[in-house]
Structures are given as C-alpha cells and as structure tokens.
C-alpha cells in the first residue's frame, strides 16, 4: 500500500530495546519512493515489484533506491542483487564478482533437500533444462546431459531413493567435465558434441569452484564479466536455490519478507522457471522479487500478472501501446513520461511518482559507483 505523508523526523538516540521498537515503527511506514509517496510491501497482497523502462529511463536508479531503503528500514531482511550489468553497487554491500579468474563460484548441482520436490534426479532435470535453454541444445544433447549428471551424482554416492545421501558433498561442473571427457575417450561421439557445447562453460570455471555462501544481509552477485548465457545459468541457479531454501524454512508468520531478490535487466531470465515459482509461491515463504526490464517481452505473464507493485518508466515508443495495455495505464500518460517519472500500481491503486533516485539518497561521495 502506498501513502502520502511528510518525511518522518529523525529518531532520537535510543537504548537497544527502544531502538528495535523505533525500527519496527519506521518499517511500518514503509519506504520513500519519491515526492512523499511511501511504499509498504507488507500492506500489499504481495511484495513483488516489476519495473519497465527504456535505457536511461531510471530502472537502475529506482531499483537501487528501493534496495537501499529496504536495507536501511528492515534490519532483519536479506537482499540478494543479481547484477547483469555491473552497475547495481550499493553502500554496505558484500559483492561476489563471478568471472574467469574470480575465486567465487555457483554450483547448479547443489541438492534441494525437500523430500517431495528435491533430490538429485529433479536437480539434474532442472539443470539440464537450464543449460538446454541457455546454450541452445537439442533434445538428444539434453537427454545425454541428464544421463551424465545422474552418473555424477552416483559417483558421489548420492541417489534419489536414499534421502540420507542427499546431504553428501554434491558434484560440480568439474565432475561433469571429467565424466564427459571419460565418455569421449571411450569413443562416444555424442559426448564429443556435448563437450564442444559446454567448452566455454567449463573454461570460465564459475560452476567448478566452491560456491559462496549467501550469508550477508546485502549481497551483490556481479555477473557483468560473463557472457550473457553463462550469467543466465548462474542467475537461474541462484534464484532456484533461494526459492528451494525458503521453501525448506517453511511459511513465514510475519508479513515482512525474509529476503528480496533484485534483478535488473532481466532479459536473460525471460521464461525462467525459478522466477515464475518465486512470483507464485515466494510470498508465503518470505521471498520477494524485484524485476526490471526494457521490454514487456522479457517479463513472463506470471510475473506481470502476479506482482502487486508495477512501475512504468518511460518506454521506447514502439512499446507504448503494449505497455499501456498490459499495465493498464492510458497510452498518452505512458508516452508522456520523462526519466525518473513513473506510473505506479500498488495493488489496486495507481499513482504518478517522481522517483528520488539512489544517487540523491546516498551521502556525498558515499556512492562508490
């Protein structure tokens, strides 16, 4: 829900107990979007946000402003920023850059411990589907990949039928590479083709290294040095991991989300099964999504339909008609928008907002951009 009110006065110095109470009070007012308009995710049907806007319209500044304020306002909330362009840096963040020579990795082969929706077989299916989409594999290669992934898990002593094996150290892409190379040596032609397809993925090494832990309150995963298809695999894997782990933690009682996942320039994640799952089920488990893109084509129908907060920044002229229809704003209003001016929907209500950009919120020199 949004509300218009004056900016609250600064809180006086308080004792620890009073401080927590004051923080809860501050949180109940939500966060300032701009011009006296506050956004309070816990009063909306869900806390998901979808933003659309052409290059230079203000998507990045809007997302950074929301992330910055959520981080300041909700002390128990974790923020995970998936950064395809490398420009989402925020004060107070812990950043994991993923590239050829970085020490950090992501392991798409981690195992979801949910007895009904987890285990190595389902993980292998999800990973094979992600690689198929990102690297444009055919059905034969996808089938072979599934078989090889099954062997990788088995060699680690992990089987679908024995749940007690799911907590063993999972294989990673170094194991996948070794397994494929073994098959090539044995003369398997399809494996040779599969190896060719995966060579660049193996060369970057980001899926071969130990995965970093998502333990800090404000984490940015910088994917800008990766080819888009590898960034997409990493992002899909992280999003699925977040949804799986929130599911395992169970439903939240508080209306305040545990975690916010931010994805700017989400083009690479159009038709992402993980994002569709987060949009549908994330709220119950305390996982919310903020997604921005240049075109409505990159946002799935599930994402568009289910996000209670929708932000329309200036879009390309060829997008105006479709965006106006999909976001239910008058065409002339959408066409007349200027950078950092947004038509917003908060549940059933609509409002035009002058966004206060991130660069105007941080202290002088505080933005390490």
In the complex, the residues that contact ligand ADP under the rule CB under 6 A are 53, 55-61, 339-340, 357, 359
In Å, how far are 30, 103, 124, 196 from 171, measured between CA atoms? 43, 18, 11, 21
Pair of tokens at residue 104: 């950090």
How many Å apart are CA 25 and CA 313, to the nearest integer? 30
> Which entry of ligand ADP, Mg ion, none binds 53, CB below 5 to 8 A by partner kind?
ligand ADP
User: Could you give the count of Cα atoms lying within 13 Å of 128 in the half-sphere of its Cβ?
Assistant: 20
Nearest distance from C-beta of residue 332 to ligand ADP, angstroms = 21
Number of neighbouring beta carbons within 10 Å of residue 174: 15
Phi, psi of 92 (to 5 degrees): 85, 5
Residue 167 binds what, of Mg ion, ligand ADP, none (CB under 5 to 8 Å, by partner type)? none
Stretch that binds Mg ion, among 51-59, 150-158, 339-347, 352-360 (CB under 5 A): 51-59
Binding residues with Mg ion: total (CB under 5 A):
2
CA 108 to CA 131: how far, in whole Å?
10
Please report which helix (H) or strand (E) contains residue 182, including its range: helix 173-185
Structure-token pair, residue 331: 């065409």
CB of 55 or CB of 199, closer to ligand ADP:
55
Comparison of 193 and 322: residue with beta carbon closer to ligand ADP: 322
Near Mg ion by CB under 5 A, which window of 57-65, 89-97, 117-125, 212-220? 57-65
- Encoded tokens for 325: 């229809």
As given in the structure block, the two tokens for residue 297 are 């084509």
Nearer to ligand ADP, 162 or 359 (CB): 359
Smallest gap from Cβ 70 to ligand ADP, in A, equals 17
DSSP state of 75: T
Pick the closer one to Mg ion by CB: 60 or 293: 60
Q: Smallest gap, in angstroms, from Cβ of residue 204 to Mg ion?
A: 24
Question: Which of Mg ion, ligand ADP, none binds 359 (CB below 5-8 Å, type-dependent)?
Answer: ligand ADP
Which range, of 58-66, 89-97, 151-159, 337-345, touches Mg ion by CB under 5 A? 58-66
Cβ of residue 109: shortest distance to Mg ion, in angstroms?
32
Which residue, 243 or 263, is less far from Mg ion as judged by CB? Answer: 263
Q: Dihedral (C-alpha) 260, 261, 262, 268: value to the nearest 10 degrees?
A: -160
Q: Are 153 and 128 in contact (CB under 8 A)?
A: no
- Are β-strands 94-97 and 78-83 bridged in parallel, bridged antiparallel, or unpaired? unpaired
Helix (H) or strand (E) holding 144: helix 139-155
Residue 301 CB coordination number (10 Å): 11
The answer to whether 293 contacts Mg ion (rule: CB under 5 A) is no
Cβ distance to ligand ADP smaller for residue 66 or 194: 66
Rounded least distance, CB 267 to Mg ion, Å = 11
Task: Give min distance, CB of 264 to ligand ADP, in A.
Answer: 7
Using CB positions, name the residue nearest to Mg ion: 60
Which phi and psi angles does 8 have, rounded to 5°? Answer: -65, 155
Choosing from 60, 78, 88, 300, the residue that interacts with Mg ion (CB under 5 A) is 60
What's the longest Cα–Cα distance across the chain? 74
Identify which of 108, 30, 82 has the alpha carbon closest to the alpha carbon of residue 293.
Answer: 82
By CB atoms closer than 10 A (0-12, 13-18, 19+), residue 184 is middle
The residue (of 222 and 244) whose beta carbon lies closer to Mg ion is 222
Closer to ligand ADP by Cβ: residue 46 or 57: 57
The nearer residue to Mg ion, 60 or 123, going by C-beta atoms, is 60
- Minimum Å distance from CB 59 to ligand ADP? 4
Q: Report in angstroms how near the CB of residue 293 gets to ligand ADP at its nearest.
A: 10
Residue 185 CB, nearest approach to ligand ADP (Å): 48
Distance CA 160, CA 98 (A): 30
Please choose which of ligand ADP, Mg ion, none residue 120 contacts, taking the beta carbon within 5 to 8 angstroms, the exact cut-off set by kind. Answer: none
Applying CB under 5 A, the residues found at the interface with Mg ion are: 59-60
């Amino acid at each position: 829900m949004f509300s218009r009110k004056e900016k609250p006065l600064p809180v006086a110095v308080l004792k620890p107990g009073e401080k927590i109470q004051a923080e809860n009070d501050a949180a109940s007012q939500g966060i300032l979007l701009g011009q006296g308009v506050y956004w309070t995710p816990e009063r909306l049907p869900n806390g998901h946000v979808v933003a659309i806007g052409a290059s230079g319209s203000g998507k990045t500044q809007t997302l950074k402003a929301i992330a910055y304020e959520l981080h300041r306002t909700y002390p128990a909330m974790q923020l995970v920023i998936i950064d395809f362009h490398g420009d989402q840096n925020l004060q107070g963040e812990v950043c994991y850059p993923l590239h050829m020579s970085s020490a950090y990795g992501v392991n798409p082969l981690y195992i979801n411990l949910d007895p009904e929706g987890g285990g190595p077989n389902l993980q292998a299916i999800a990973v094979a589907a992600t690689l198929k989409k990102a690297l444009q594999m055919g059905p034969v290669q996808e089938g072979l990949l599934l078989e090889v992934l099954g062997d990788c898990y088995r060699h680690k002593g992990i089987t679908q039928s024995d749940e007690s094996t799911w907590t063993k150290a999972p294989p990673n892409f170094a194991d996948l590479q070794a397994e494929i190379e073994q098959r090539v040596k044995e003369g398997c032609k399809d494996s040779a083709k599969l190896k060719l397809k995966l060579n660049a993925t193996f060369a970057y090494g980001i899926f071969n290294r130990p995965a970093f832990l998502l333990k800090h309150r404000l984490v940015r995963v910088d994917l800008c040095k990766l080819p888009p298809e590898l960034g997409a695999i990493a992002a899909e894997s992280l999003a699925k991991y977040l949804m799986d782990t929130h599911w395992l933690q169970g439903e939240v009682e508080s209306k305040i989300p545990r975690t916010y996942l931010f994805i700017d320039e989400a083009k690479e994640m159009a038709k992402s099964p993980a994002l569709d799952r987060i949009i549908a089920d994330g709220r119950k488990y305390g996982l919310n999504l903020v997604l921005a893109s240049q075109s409505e084509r990159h946002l799935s129908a599930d994402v568009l339909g289910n996000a209670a907060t929708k932000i329309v920044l200036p879009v390309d002229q060829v997008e105006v008609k479709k965006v106006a229809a999909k976001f239910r704003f008058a065409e002339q209003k959408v066409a007349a928008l200027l950078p950092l001016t947004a038509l917003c929907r908060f549940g059933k209500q609509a409002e035009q907002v002058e966004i206060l950009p991130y660069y105007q919120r941080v202290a002088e020199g505080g933005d390490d951009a």
